[in-house]
Amino acid sequence: MGPQTLAAQLLESYEAGSSFFFATPRRTLLARGTFATVPHVGGAGALARLPERVTAVLNDARQADHDIPVAVGAVPFDGSVPAQLVVPLTLQRAGPLAFEQDVPVQRPLSSSYTVQPVPEPAAYLNGVAQALKLMQDGPLQKVVLSRSLHLNAAAPIDLRKLLRNLAQRNPSGYTFAADLPVPDGAHGGLRTLIGASPELLVSRSGFQVVANPLAGSAARSPDPLEDQERAAALLKSPKDLHEHALVIDAVAEALRPYCKTLHVPAGPSLVNTATMWHLSSRITGELADPSISSLTLAAAMHPTPAVCGYPTRLAHQAIGSIEPFDRGYYTGTVGWCDATGDGQWAVTIRCAEASERTLRLFAGAGIVVGSTPESELAETEAKFRTMLHAMGLGQSAGASS
């Protein structure tokens, strides 16, 4: 048997194209249908104006006697892509998902498939070398460079099975599935953002604020002794501690103007997923003004150096010149915000953009002085495993079957 209780029913009720699913270690949320869509306004400062647009749509919904004053959905990496936020027709909440031990993975693929890396590994190695040269020659201190894998299947991919597998393998993370707009000119079909993020961007509950940035990573090992040695080495790594400090300082700087108290740990701790070890710092604060919403906080923080780099403007320019694809919603944020301002937003990593028979998987690595192209390539390979294992594909990222 699989998972039990109402949370399991919500997972089984998920339907791509008409649902938003968001599961955390403490709660499960399923939103269905669309009562209203938050309008997109492009140009400079689009992200900063997003909280005001959400507030206006929620107020309109409340005045129309709609009793679901919550906006759910996904925000992209940058303002060149529209945020996809809606007020749903219905919303159900439950406690955390719970799975019986050793429930087998149900493979979402029922046919042959091909996988194409973009960029190719050699090109990614060259991109990391370019980033290191930029750091050597100028003030850039960190840049996050990403790769993608384009998976094409001969038959439709079962996204509910994929979502179930992600939730089962990542109980301490944030499992999500959000509908995305279909690009102009596309021929029908659905488009879904799906994944299991280990990283909380920010949450707000009343006056309480929590952010949990992750930066500095090491792949897990199947050998328990080797696994613990990798964890201990990560916690002492000067390169990874420097990368982590850049992120923590930037997150604290973004949150401080909104908080009357803010607690930042003196140093990171270790957290793990099924595939990775991460350096983690749980930052907590108390809001100075109850009118500040969770989305306002998310907009002030995003993108953090954990997904972009530092300084932000220079890192963003480097990403644009080196990465050979548009990130879209990858390294954005996904979650919800209600009319009181409460909400929860996860960083959109360990994810893929899915259509009927295709997946575009993403993984990135933070490049700082001391990085090597080979180690950063290996880190992206390890991060791909979250999605690949959920697809039942093992660790073979570049092969075809």
Q: Other C-beta atoms within 10 Å of 98: how many?
A: 11
Determine the residue type at 391. M
Contacts of 62 (CB under 8 A, 6+ apart): 69, 339
Amino acid at 398: G
Which residue of the set 142, 161, 243, 353 is catalytic? 142
**Known active-site residue 15:** no
From the candidates 161, 199, 376, 381, which is the catalytic residue?
A: 199
Note if 142 is an active site residue. yes
Under 8 Å between Cβ of 305 and 142: yes
Give the strands of the sheet with 333-338, arranged side by side.
Answer: 36-37, 84-87, 70-75, 333-338, 343-347, 200-205, 208-212, 283-287, 259-263
For every residue of the chain, which 3-state class applies, written as one string? CCCCHHHHHHHHHCCCCCEEEEECCCCEEEEECCCEECCCCCCCCHHHHHHHHHHHHHHHHHHCCCCCCEEEEEECCCCCCCCEEEECCEEEEECCCCCCCCCCCCCCCCCCEEEEEECCHHHHHHHHHHHHHHHHHCCCCEEEEEEEEEEEECCCCCHHHHHHHHHHHCCCCEEEEEECCCCCCCCCCCCEEEEEECCEEEEEECCEEEEECEEEEEECCCCHHHHHHHHHHHHHCHHHHHHHHHHHHHHHHHHHHHEEEEECCCCCEEEECCCEEEEECCEEEEECCCCCCHHHHHHHHCCCCCCCEECHHHHHHHHHHHCCCCCCCCCCEEEEEECCCCEEEEECCCEEEECCCEEEEEEEEEEECCCCHHHHHHHHHHHHHHHHHHCCCCCCCCCCC
Active-site residue numbers?
142, 199
